Amino acid sequence: MDHRPWLKNYPNGVPANVNTEAYPDIISFFKETVEKYKRREAFVCMGKAITFAQLDQKSTDFAAYLHSRGLEPGDRIALMMPNLLQYPVAVFGVLKAGLIAVNTNPLYTAREMKHQFVDSGCKAIVIAENFASKLQQIQGDTNIGVVITTSIGELLGFPKRMIVNFVVRRIKKMVPSFNIPNAVTFSEALKQGKDFSIKDFQSNPDDTIILQYTGGTTGVSKGAMLTNRNLISNMLQVQAILLPFLDKAKSEGQETIICPLPLYHIFAFSVNCLSVFSVGARNVLITNARDIDSLIDAFKKYPISLMTGLNTLFNAMLNHKEFDKLDFSKLKITLAGGMALQKRVALEWKKVTGCQLTEGYGLTESSPVASVNPLDETARIGTIGLPVPSTDMRIVDEQGNPLGIDQVGEIQIKGPQIMKGYYNRPDETNNCISDGWLSTGDIGEMDKDGFFRIVDRKKDMILVSGFNVYPNEVEDVIAMHPKVSEVAAIGIPDERSTERVKVFIVRKDNSLTRDEIEAHCKENLTGYKRPKEIEFREELPKTNVGKILRRALKEEEGV
């Protein structure tokens, strides 16, 4: 069997391999990029732009500030905010200081935050003030000593800063009051950082620079250790796929990519913050992707040539009354990731925009991109495309033996983008990485041309709008309720979000109501993890050793 049958189907100009030794670390790549494109706009948010040179200066000030507060290379710092100009400034500042960035979803509840901060051993945090009251509840249970808060409008300049903050704080009342002693604002940190310099430290290709938390198979959120080499490799792999389709535009000036996915999500971080940034493109940050009007406005205001997103987002845009009136003449590439792309959405997108909607595939553990459909007319809807350069993929049986063409088994990935392992969890790492091959837990098949297709998910994981929901976590939270005896959570199909969470509960106390369960979940689980359906039962199906059979419940639901 041909070892890499997909190579013959790569579009012209896409190499079989990339030079993963091109840069020793992210910072050397960053320095080269900001020097090359210094006067161009790097990121735009709410109409305010920051150039590559300004990003360089501000991130240097921020790095110096972190060192001035006694933080050392290798220390962990959480970044918890939506898409704002502060994010790229903070993340590149963190990397310049040799710290490890712990990307944190701002929608997390206090309980979820505590788990991630304790597990990672965070010593510091940059947090949007909207979520600071949650931090206040749990800070005492963590090692976080340095707290930097930021407002939504902080880097927007006068008078926009004041207007945006007034609306967010006073009108929309989105900032619950908090009192965190010794917290400093982001602006103050940048100002103080000017008086200090970054201390020298040794940086290596295999140093972990990002701890990206993923649900994992056990349902306990685990930190994937992503290194300089992992992220540089994935950046170069994605860049190699994009460049042949961008060359023609180089003479016309800068590419503009719209970025509705949060940069704390590994897909947007790798593709937007690194790969597209590396070719001097301007990233238009969308702070709240649920506000489809703001995406429509961005398309009206900027010559958007690239877009990343999820199936649900593309679907919502297609359903917007003004979408088909927009000018898509500049749009060259639209990349879908994070969840399965529905055929109907892909076809409709092409019809309305004239631009192909290209599906890719990957995992947090693969930094994340592992395969992408070709960006030319050879893409095959319904597949996850071809492995990216310098990457091997294969299908194996239950015993780990490689399978042939069109045979169904588990997808495994091998390449320079595969994580170093799970932080502080060597057993979990050994369970999923063997001989360099990452077991994905996804069941799929490969055709004779090297195109891969996902058939099913091996785990009981539930996929809600591109986010992983682990039944164990939902069950653990509901089981904490004093009136609950037993609980099982499964995913059932949902046209809008791929799946939604359904729970089956055996009451301990017959007075237990649906409203009580919903209130309990609201307090302890972020929105996408909460059950949308609740069914009370007298008993749950079990194995002979008493383990609840989720499989049987799925069958009852016809899943």
DSSP characters over 411-467: EEEESTTS-SEETT-HHHHHHHEETTEEEEEEEEEE-TTS-EEEEEESS--EEETTE
Which has the higher per-residue pLDDT, 431 or 338? 431
Give the three-state DSSP class for 100: strand
pLDDT at 118 over 80: yes
Beta strands in 277-332 (DSSP E): 282-285, 306-309
| Long-range Cβ contact pairs of 482-489 (< 8 A, separation 24 or more) | 482/508, 482/509, 483/507, 483/508, 483/509, 483/511, 483/512, 483/516, 484/508, 484/512, 484/517, 486/539, 486/540, 486/548, 488/540, 488/548, 488/550, 488/553, 489/462, 489/531, 489/550
Pairing between strand 222-227 and 421-422?
A: antiparallel
User: Which of 84-88, 339-343, 360-364 reaches the highest mean pLDDT?
Assistant: 84-88
Can you tell me the mean pLDDT for 479-491?
91
- Region label for 426, one of left (φ > 0), alpha (ψ between -120 and 50) or beta (otherwise): alpha
pLDDT at 306 over 70: yes
Residue 463 near residue 262 (C-beta atoms within 8 A): no
Give the three-state DSSP class for 51: strand
Distance of CA 361 to the CA centre of its chain: 13
CATH class of segment(s) 392-457: mainly beta
Q: What pLDDT sits at residue 217?
A: 39
Distances in whole angstroms, Cα of residue 127 to Cα of each of 80, 152, 373: 5, 10, 36
Least reliable range by pLDDT among 42-56, 349-363, 469-483? 469-483
Residue 411 near residue 393 (C-beta atoms within 8 A): yes
pLDDT at 366 over 60: yes
pLDDT at 430 over 60: yes
pLDDT at 270 over 70: yes
Q: What pLDDT sits at residue 464?
A: 93
In tens, the pLDDT along 56-81 reads: 999 999 999 999 999 999 999 999 99
Can you tell me the mean pLDDT for 382-403?
95
Retrieve residue 35's tokens. 């020097």
The domain 51-203 having CATH identifier 3.30.1490.190: the answer here is no
Residue 99 near residue 279 (C-beta atoms within 8 A): no
Q: What pLDDT sits at residue 456?
A: 67
Can you tell me the mean pLDDT for 410-434?
96
What would be the CATH architecture of the domain defined by 462-556? 2-Layer Sandwich (3.30)
pLDDT at 339 over 50: yes
Residue 225: Cβ within 10 Å count: 23
Which has the higher per-residue pLDDT, 290 or 125? 125
Q: What pLDDT sits at residue 216?
A: 43
> Is the Cα torsion angle 481, 485, 489, 492 positive or negative in sign?
negative
Least reliable range by pLDDT among 169-183, 373-387, 428-442, 470-484? 470-484
Can you tell me the mean pLDDT for 552-557?
91
Which has the higher per-residue pLDDT, 278 or 382? 278
In tens, the pLDDT along 181-232 reads: 999 999 999 999 999 999 999 999 999 999 999 854 345 789 999 999 999 9
Distances in whole angstroms, Cα of residue 544 to Cα of each of 155, 304, 509, 541: 60, 58, 26, 10
Q: What pLDDT sits at residue 338?
A: 78
Q: Angle at CA 468, nearest 5°, toward 424 and 409? A: 90
Q: What is the mean pLDDT of the chain?
A: 93
Can you tell me the mean pLDDT for 151-173?
97
Sheet holding 421-422, edge to edge: 184-185, 146-150, 124-128, 76-80, 100-103, 208-214, 222-227, 421-422
pLDDT at 250 over 60: no
pLDDT at 513 over 70: yes
Q: What pLDDT sits at residue 209?
A: 98
- Region label for 398, one of left (φ > 0), alpha (ψ between -120 and 50) or beta (otherwise): alpha
Beta strands in 129-185 (DSSP E): 146-150, 184-185
pLDDT at 158 over 90: yes
Burial of 516 (0-12, 13-18, 19+ CB in 10 A): middle
Residue 255 near residue 249 (C-beta atoms within 8 A): yes
Domains of the chain by residue range: 51-203, 392-457, 462-556
Can you tell me the mean pLDDT for 532-540?
95
Tokens 């749990």 sit on residue: 138
Q: What pLDDT sits at residue 218?
A: 45
pLDDT at 253 over 60: no
Q: What pLDDT sits at residue 429?
A: 96
Q: What pLDDT sits at residue 543?
A: 63
Retrieve residue 277's tokens. 């940034």
Residue type (1 letter), 482: P
Calculate the CA dihedral of residues 290, 291, 294, 300 and round it to 10 degrees: 80
Can you tell me the mean pLDDT for 28-50?
97
Can you tell me the mean pLDDT for 249-262?
78
Q: What pLDDT sits at residue 251?
A: 43
Can you tell me the mean pLDDT for 277-299?
95
β-partners of residue 507 are: 484
Rounded to 5 degrees, φ, ψ at 550 are -65, -35
Least reliable range by pLDDT among 93-102, 118-127, 534-543, 544-553? 544-553
Rounded to 5 degrees, φ, ψ at 170 are -90, -45
